Amino acid sequence: GAGVSQSPRYKVAKRGQDVALRCDPISGHVSLFWYQQALGQGPEFLTYFQNEAQLDKSGLPSDRFFAERPEGSVSTLKIQRTQQEDSAVYLCASSPIQGAGETQYFGPGTRLLVL
């Protein structure tokens, strides 16, 4: 079956530009997570959705970051007025139900480079 997909795979943006990153989770998965992975580091949590409800956005680094999942499936992470420090790989993951022991299935990531 299809896994988690993300688009675009690569994005180059000029500083100050707005970007939108898309995540298509595995069909039927309730939970959806966004993570940010800087070069040579482990992923860091950004935000979490249960269906369409954004239940945790404690990891979003600033109010320039915004995420939505309006119909409980596809999610979009939007970054406004991009800065160089936003350059990273953005990972999306989904899991069938919520819970600390549940396996998360990751997409290939979107590599964002801000010039």
Partner 1 sequence: GDSVTQMEGPVTLSEEAFLTINCTYTATGYPSLFWYVQYPGEGLQLLLKATKADDKGSNKGFEATYRKETTSFHLEKGSVQVSDSAVYFCALSDQGNQGGKLIFGQGTELSVKP
Span near partner 1 by CB under 8 A; candidates 20-28, 64-72, 74-82, 90-98: 90-98
Q: What is the smallest separation between the CB atom of 100 and partner 1, expressed in angstroms?
A: 4
**Look-up of token digits 């369409």:** 52
Coil, strand or helix: which one is 78?
A: strand
Encoded tokens for 31: 């939970």
- Dist CA 38 CA 62 (whole Å): 16
Q: With binding defined as CB under 8 A, does residue 102 bind partner 1?
A: yes
* Closest to partner 1 by CB, 56 or 85: 56
What's the gap between Cα 113 and its chain centre? 15
Return residues touching partner 1 (CB under 8 A): 4, 31, 33, 35, 40-45, 48, 50, 55-56, 59, 91, 93, 95, 98-109
